[in-house]
Amino acid sequence: MTSHPQKFLNAPNDDVAIRVNGLSKIYKAQGLSNQKNALNDINLEIPAGCIFGLLGPNGAGKSTLINILAGTVMKSSGAVTVWGEDLDKNPRQCRANIGIVPQELNIDVFLTPYESLEFTAGMYNIPRHERKTKAILEMVGLTEQSHAYARTLSGGMRRRMLVAKAMVHSPPILILDEPTAGVDVALRQKLWENVRNLNDAGVTIVLTTHYLEEAEELCDHVAILNYGEVMISKTKSDLLKSAGRKDINVTIPQNQKRQPMPAAIKALNPILTTSGFIIRFNPEETSSGEILKTIGNAGFQIIDVSTYQPDLEDIFLDLTK
């Protein structure tokens, strides 16, 4: 697989691919007084060159945000810049700066991948001598299928074809809306490889997904939306650290489990288990070594130790429950 066939625009001076300030979207039912706040005064910065995970349960506002960026939904208030361009002042260039891969497989099954990309390039008014159709198909691994009708392609190939269509006009930002929904494990891995290669080539990736292990695997920045608000937005490493807890599971001999719990251990608020106990602690305040030393000094023999730190799914559930 090759790198991207065209050189991208230089990143904005502030290295922010997408900036959202005070963005709100209110849907009003016609003839009725009630309304729905799909987005409620949100602020968000997506750094240029990153893989950014936009997470949230159904109805959190992810699709509304994407549709505003795509120009298919009008915002109620707030400011949006896309690759340095103001959405209000230059909406056409904002849309040109983004390629969107929708969740639905909306392709013309009677066109080949080559024909589909050529047609899309024509829609963007790209001159024939500037089109990079063959290079883009090679990039997404569809060279051999370039002249096969889309109806003969597998689901994973169709997904890659949508990625190729979104990259026809060489946008510096690619938004992937649930790209692996309904895709088996092998095809998911192939799509992940495509995403990484595009990002290595300089594309800023915005990924929405309900597969939290996918976000944890791919993304280096994560934002979690719920009820139209940004609950948190951090680098993945900072987000995982912010959980503020870690578990250390200690196995002790059977005879010691029947002994009274020493005061030093009681002070650690142990959770009793069939094999011993679990100590839950904040890794920024103390360390596993200090806890094990306390347990040893209290006279306990440690047979086995295992640790557990919350993953992205734990944090997501805590924030959206």
Q: For the domain that residue 273 is a member of, what is the CATH number?
A: 3.30.70.980
pLDDT digits (tens, 9 = 90+) for 28-43: 866 556 788 899 999 9
Q: How many domains does the chain have?
A: 2
- Per the domain annotation, does 1 fall within a domain? no
- Per the domain annotation, does 110 fall within a domain? yes
Task: Name which residue leads in pLDDT, 3 or 267.
Answer: 267
* Separation between Cα atoms, residue 158 and residue 152, nearest integer Å: 9
- Per the domain annotation, does 109 fall within a domain? yes
Do 250 and 314 share a domain, yes or no?
Answer: yes
- Per the domain annotation, does 218 fall within a domain? yes
Domain boundary among 212, 240, 268: 240
Q: Kindly indicate the confidence band of residue 318, based on its pLDDT and cuts at 50, 70 and 90.
A: confident
Using CB atoms within 10 A of its CB, is residue 17 exposed (0-12), middle (13-18) or buried (19+)? Answer: buried
Domain boundary among 240, 273, 293: 240
Domain boundary among 240, 275, 293: 240
pLDDT digits (tens, 9 = 90+) for 115-129: 999 999 998 899 999
Which pLDDT belongs to residue 1?
A: 39
Do 157 and 46 share a domain, yes or no?
Answer: yes
* Separation between Cα atoms, residue 116 and residue 109, nearest integer Å: 9
For residue 275, which of 314, 233, 303, 247 has the smallest C-alpha distance? 303
Q: For the domain that residue 156 is a member of, what is the CATH number?
A: 3.40.50.300
Do 27 and 70 share a domain, yes or no?
Answer: yes
pLDDT digits (tens, 9 = 90+) for 169-190: 989 999 998 887 777 777 788 8
Do 49 and 64 share a domain, yes or no?
Answer: yes
In the chain, % of residues over pLDDT 90: 50
Do 80 and 67 share a domain, yes or no?
Answer: yes
For residue 216, which of 183, 198, 243, 249 has the smallest C-alpha distance? 243
Do 185 and 164 share a domain, yes or no?
Answer: yes
Task: Say whether pLDDT at 201 is over 90.
Answer: no
Do 51 and 24 share a domain, yes or no?
Answer: yes
* Separation between Cα atoms, residue 176 and residue 65, nearest integer Å: 13
Do 273 and 143 share a domain, yes or no?
Answer: no
- Per the domain annotation, does 257 fall within a domain? yes
pLDDT digits (tens, 9 = 90+) for 154-167: 888 888 899 899 98
Ranges of H-type helices in 152-285: 155-166, 185-200, 212-218, 236-241, 254-257, 263-266
Please list the residues that pair with 221 across neighbouring strands: 52, 235
Do 299 and 169 share a domain, yes or no?
Answer: no
Q: What is the mean pLDDT of the chain?
A: 88
Q: Is 207:195 a contact under the CB 8 Å cutoff?
A: yes
Which pLDDT belongs to residue 281?
A: 87
Do 42 and 178 share a domain, yes or no?
Answer: yes
Question: Which residue range forms the structural domain that includes residue 248?
Answer: 243-320
- Per the domain annotation, does 6 fall within a domain? no
- Per the domain annotation, does 2 fall within a domain? no
Q: Kindly indicate the confidence band of residue 197, based on its pLDDT and cuts at 50, 70 and 90.
A: confident
Which pLDDT belongs to residue 33?
A: 64
Which residues lie closer than 8 Å to 157 by C-beta, 6 or more apart?
Answer: 142, 145
Do 186 and 228 share a domain, yes or no?
Answer: yes
Which pLDDT belongs to residue 67?
A: 92
- Per the domain annotation, does 136 fall within a domain? yes
Do 234 and 295 share a domain, yes or no?
Answer: no
In the chain, % of residues over pLDDT 70: 95
